[in-house]
């Protein structure tokens, strides 16, 4: 089937062209008594705009009344880590993209293994600098709900050492539909580089199967990808917890498919990506896409997870009402009264 055939006409031509990956912007508004509305999911997250100005808490100083802006929690992105330095560079590049999108949010990178700095090191440094609120976002594309238990353990260890530090752990990035657009772009580049003229099968390859919800969503993404391009699509994993790329290729070939491409649902080119890419090429894949990398789509998902998790750090009472901090009132004797 040629690139101009029916299966290839559906490829998106722009960043927002993927019909099955529409961006649904959900705006959470928390009514703040006497302080306005705090919009945690707006494009101006925690920036110096009308939303944040409206959410400021008054703090009375001797002789004056000034507004103090709510400080954005520090963002820590927790990556798996790898001996391959490309993983560390990709994660640092993602941090740079986050800073470009939201310069008002202090972002840090931490790794769970093989790389430094570790999560306890970053949290300890942040706590030592006087920060008391942190949101940790796991960089995991296959888990939709469950967080790596190591993260919870390391956070508990750090907060025990720094009692004033409050940490909210977001749910992982997960296999979001919006990433299919990015996956298409990566695969299109690989097909162009390999000068592929025919394509009749797709494989959606990921690092692992993830949690129950993540596994179900990965299967759904494969069906969406298949429907969009009118091509059969099977899933594969690189760590042995499910069908390998070679097994998925065999499954498609049993259906008579011969020109099969692999879409890599990985964030960075780590060891597991290299293993599945090498295996795919050895068994005859016509193209293997590069990892998703540090595109704006990934950074926006990180910021979305950050915004929702930051809600848990807001002071709500038992009834779910926002409890505005009490204004700091200077003692009467400290006020200077004019003549």
Q: pLDDT of 264-305, one tens digit each? A: 999 998 889 999 999 999 999 999 999 999 899 999 999 999
Question: Does the structure show a pLDDT above 90 at 10?
Answer: no
pTM of the model as a whole: 0.73
Task: Look at residue 324 in the predicted model and tell me its pLDDT.
Answer: 57
What pLDDT was estimated at residue 16?
Answer: 34
How does residue 327 score in pLDDT terms, banded at 50, 70 and 90? low
**CA torsion, points 208, 211, 213, 219, in degrees to nearest 10?**
20
Containing 306, the helix (H) or strand (E) segment is helix 296-310
Q: How far apart are CA 19 and CA 120, in angstroms?
A: 41
User: Count of residues for the chain?
Assistant: 339
- Decide if pLDDT at 51 tops 90: no
Number of Cβ atoms within 10 Å of the Cβ of 255: 10
Q: Which has the closest alpha carbon to 177: 291, 21, 24?
A: 21
pLDDT per residue over 106-134, tens digit each?
999 999 987 889 999 999 999 999 999 99
Beta bridge partner(s), residue 252: none
Number of neighbouring beta carbons within 10 Å of residue 334: 10
- Collapsing DSSP states into helix, strand and coil, what is residue 264? strand
Q: Which domains does the chain have, with CATH numbers?
A: 6-21+175-288 (3.40.50), 33-174+297-332 (3.40.50.1400)
129-180 pLDDT, tens per residue? 999 999 999 999 999 999 999 999 999 999 999 999 999 999 999 999 999 9
Please tell me the predicted confidence (pLDDT) of residue 29.
32
Q: Any idea which residue has 């790794």 for tokens? A: 111
* Alpha carbons 220 and 214: distance in angstroms, whole number: 10
């Amino acid at each position: 089937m040629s690139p101009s055939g029916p299966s290839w006409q559906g490829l998106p031509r722009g960043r927002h062209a993927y019909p099955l990956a529409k961006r649904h912007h959900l705006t959470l508004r928390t009514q703040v008594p006497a302080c306005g509305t705090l919009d945690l999911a707006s494009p101006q997250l925690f920036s110096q705009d009308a939303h944040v100005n409206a959410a400021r808490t008054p703090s009375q100083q001797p002789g004056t009344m000034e507004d103090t802006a709510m400080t954005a929690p520090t963002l820590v992105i927790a990556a798996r880590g790898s001996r391959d330095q490309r993983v560390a560079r990709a994660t640092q590049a993602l941090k740079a993209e986050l800073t470009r999108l939201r310069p008002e949010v202090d972002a840090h990178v931490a790794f769970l293994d093989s790389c430094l700095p570790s999560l306890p090191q970053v949290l300890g440094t942040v706590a030592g600098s006087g920060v008391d609120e942190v949101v940790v976002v796991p960089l995991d594309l296959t888990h939709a709900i469950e967080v790596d238990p190591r993260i919870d353990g390391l956070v508990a260890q750090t907060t025990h050492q720094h009692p004033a530090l409050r940490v909210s752990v977001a749910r992982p990035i997960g296999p979001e539909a919006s990433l299919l657009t990015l996956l298409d772009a990566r695969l299109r580049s690989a097909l162009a580089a390999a000068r592929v003229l025919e394509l009749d099968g797709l494989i959606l390859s990921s690092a692992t199967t993830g949690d129950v919800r993540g596994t179900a969503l990965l299967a759904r993404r494969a069906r969406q990808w298949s429907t969009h391009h009118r091509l059969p699509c099977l899933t594969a994993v690189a760590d042995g917890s499910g069908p390998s790329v070679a097994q998925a290729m065999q499954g498609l070939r049993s259906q008579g498919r011969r020109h099969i491409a692999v879409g890599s649902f990985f964030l960075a080119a780590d060891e597991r990506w290299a293993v599945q890419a090498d295996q795919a090429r050895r068994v005859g894949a016509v193209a293997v896409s590069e990892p998703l990398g540090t595109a704006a789509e990934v950074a926006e998902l990180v910021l979305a997870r950050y915004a929702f998790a930051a809600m848990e750090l807001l002071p709500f009472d038992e009834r779910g009402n926002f409890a505005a901090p009490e204004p700091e009132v200077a003692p009467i004797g400290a006020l200077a009264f004019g003549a």
